[in-house]
């Protein structure tokens, strides 16, 4: 019931970045502090998301990470396809290499409709919306009291 830690950090960080004023780069260090996750590891994850086109990065003073233009509405599904790999939704729950309607594992026909629900849920949540809900104070992004929010 479970995403890899890498995916969890990625989603948390992306939502956090989306809560911040667009165009102003956010420091890796600040994200890491705010989310209470290892900074050096988070940096790797963010760098990878840059290469994959979700984020822009800027070096030097006033540097940091921003959502790339037009990526505000990226769905969690798209994010997880990047962090978990393109087979994220494709694999058999019991690990069979071949498992389809035609030749199925014993869980297949119960699992497929549930998996569809999961996919639908992930597709209907996007960074902008989630960030908005976090900004209103409705939700917590980390195991810490909601941080003071920018005016």
Q: Which residues bind a second copy (CB under 8 A)?
A: 1-3, 5, 8, 11-12, 15, 76, 88-89, 91, 93-99, 103-108, 110-111, 114-115, 117-118, 121, 124-125, 130, 133-134, 138-143
* C-beta of 54 vs 79, nearer to a second copy: 79
CB of 4 to a second copy, least distance (A): 9
The 10 Å Cβ neighbour count of residue 16 is 21
Give me the DSSP letters along 33-74: HHHT--HHHHHHHHHHHHHTTSEEEE-STT-EEEEPTT-TT-
Q: Residue 75's binding partner, choosing from a second copy, DNA, none, with beta-carbon cut-off 5 to 8 A by kind?
A: none
What is the C-alpha to C-alpha distance for residues 22 and 20, in angstroms, rounded to an integer? Answer: 6
Contact residues for DNA, defined by CB under 7 A: 4-6, 9, 25, 27-29, 37-41, 43-44, 46-47, 50-51, 57-65
Residue 95 binds which one of DNA, a second copy, none, with CB within 5 to 8 A depending on kind? Answer: a second copy
CB within 8 Å of 92: residues ≥ 6 apart:
99, 105, 108
* Closest among 81, 85, 56, 91 to 71, alpha carbons compared: 56
Residue 133 and residue 116: Cα distance in Å, rounded? 25
**CB closer to a second copy, 59 vs 90:** 90
Shortest Å, Cβ 30 to a second copy: 19
| Residue 43 or 107 having the CB closest to a second copy | 107
């Amino acid at each position: 019931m479970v995403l890899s830690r890498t995916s969890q950090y990625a989603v948390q960080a992306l939502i956090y970045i989306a809560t911040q004023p667009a165009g102003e780069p956010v420091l890796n260090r600040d994200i890491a502090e705010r989310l209470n996750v290892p900074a050096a590891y988070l940096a790797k994850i963010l760098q990878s998301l840059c290469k994959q086109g979700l984020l822009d990065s800027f070096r030097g003073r006033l540097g940091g990470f921003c959502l790339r233009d037009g990526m505000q509405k990226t769905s969690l599904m798209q994010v997880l396809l990047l962090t978990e790999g393109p087979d994220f939704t494709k694999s058999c729950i019991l690990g069979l290499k071949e498992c389809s309607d035609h030749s199925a594992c014993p869980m297949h026909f119960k699992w497929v409709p549930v998996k569809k629900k999961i996919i639908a849920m992930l597709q209907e949540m996007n960074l902008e919306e989630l960030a908005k809900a976090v900004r209103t104070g409705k939700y917590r992004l980390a195991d810490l009291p909601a941080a003071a929010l920018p005016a």
